[in-house]
Amino acid sequence: MEGTQPKPACSVSHSPAYRVGIDLGGTNIAVGVVDENYHIAAKHSIPTGAQRPYQEIVEDMKKAVKTALQIAGVSPGECCSVGIGSPGICDSETGTVVYSNNLGWKDVPLTADLQKWINLPCRLSNDANCAALGEVAAGAAKGCKNAVLITLGTGVGGGVVLDGKIFSGCHSAGAELGHTVIVKDGELCTCGRHGCLEAYASATGLIRQTKRAAQQHPESLIWKLCGGDPERISGRTPFEAERQGDETGRQVVDAYLSYLSEGVVDFVNIFRPECVILGGGICNEGARLLDPINAYVCHYCFGGELVEAPRVIRAALGNDAGIIGAALL
Ligand SMILES: [Zn+2]
């Protein structure tokens, strides 16, 4: 929802104190009952079964909400809203999933269907937006009013919180940070353009770069680490190779970080957030990931030497960010 505040509007005394957050993923549906302090009182997760018809998935969502409420010992009457974070383009105004590649959905009236059943206000937003809102309310960016979240997974997701509100643009189709071009005529992206950040900074992009480097360097430790099978190369492989002293691994990691840093500086220059939050499995690399990006941002962001540069930090809530953020919609 445009204009979403991370602070519960219904937290005055004697009002329903809980909110339900649903993180609808391609793999799992995770439901959390979130209290006024943004803590998850109870959580319940079930497989999405994304290949199934829409109606079956919605029925399972309802059951998962019911179970999560039971575990929490909370009745629907003690809740003031239900929020859903879904992959894809989600129109927050109409509560419709306009398009989701992961779920195979097109123009699905998700909040209308849930609202009929639970009789609570239901809200919808993109999953990366929810994660950004969750991190601002209760995670790595707690206390920040302006934050940008970038998730580094199969693709590159983006969530933007400005003045404490999700910014998602017209028809909620904005903040697609992964599809901004950092290399003109570069790698082909899933969106059809060339040179998008997603094509370089996603785990998929990193794996592609690692495979290519390994092919050019038969002596690289990457081959040993993947047992000679390039299909076993993961986003961790080049980092591990570098840790073991491999020069090719180091070059892949350095190149990856320079691409990612380029994108981060662009977002800093556009939004000037208080912090940039990075999420996704690659963040487990910790300082090896964050230190060079922070140095690059300090050096290259506009006015970097004159004005304090935003911090680039790691997401703190993991999958819970999506549940908490959805609950706060
Ligand atoms: Zn793209």
Q: What does the pLDDT average to over 200-207?
A: 96
Say how many Å lie between the CA of residue 268 and the centre of ligand 1. Answer: 19
Q: What is the spatial distance between Cα 153 and Cα 278, in angstroms, rounded to a whole number? A: 11
The gap from C-alpha 69 to its chain's centroid, in whole angstroms, comes to 25
Given a cut of 50, whether residue 318 has pLDDT beyond it is yes
Given a cut of 70, whether residue 10 has pLDDT beyond it is no
Q: What is the spatial distance between Cα 144 and Cα 163, in angstroms, rounded to a whole number? A: 9
Same domain assignment for residues 155 and 300: yes
Same domain assignment for residues 213 and 307: yes
Say how many Å lie between the CA of residue 155 and the centre of ligand 1. Answer: 9
Residue 118 host element (H or E): helix 110-118
Cβ-in-10-Å burial (0-12, 13-18, 19+) of 106 comes to: middle
Give tens-digit pLDDT for 97-149.
999 887 889 999 999 999 999 989 999 999 999 999 999 999 999 999 999 99
Partners of residue 149 on adjacent β-strands = 159, 277
Same domain assignment for residues 134 and 211: no
Q: Is the dihedral of CA 270, 273, 276, 277 positive or negative?
A: negative
Is 4 among the domain residues? no
Partners of residue 99 on adjacent β-strands = 89, 106
Is 33 among the domain residues? yes
Same domain assignment for residues 125 and 193: no
Same domain assignment for residues 151 and 134: no
Q: What does the pLDDT average to over 72-90?
A: 94
Q: What does the pLDDT average to over 213-222?
A: 97
Say how many Å lie between the CA of residue 166 and the centre of ligand 1. Answer: 22
Q: What does the pLDDT average to over 280-299?
A: 95
Say how many Å lie between the CA of residue 119 and the centre of ligand 1. Answer: 38
Given a cut of 70, whether residue 4 has pLDDT beyond it is no
- Contact of 180 with 186, CB cutoff 8 Å: no
Same domain assignment for residues 153 and 215: yes
Say how many Å lie between the CA of residue 193 and the centre of ligand 1. Answer: 5
Say how many Å lie between the CA of residue 240 and the centre of ligand 1. Answer: 28
Say how many Å lie between the CA of residue 111 and the centre of ligand 1. Answer: 28
Which residue range(s) make up the domain with 131?
18-141+320-327
Which pLDDT score, from 0 to 100, does residue 104 have? 87
Say how many Å lie between the CA of residue 181 and the centre of ligand 1. Answer: 7
Name the phi and psi angles at 91, rounded to 5.
-85, 110
Same domain assignment for residues 163 and 118: no
Cα angle for residues 45, 48, 50 (degrees, 5° grid): 170
Q: Which residues of 80-97 are buried (b: 16+ CB within 10 A; e: fewer)?
A: bbbbbbbbbbbbbebbbb
- Contact of 27 with 47, CB cutoff 8 Å: yes
Same domain assignment for residues 158 and 295: yes
Give tens-digit pLDDT for 161-196.
999 999 989 888 889 999 999 999 999 998 899 999
**Structural domain total, the chain:** 2
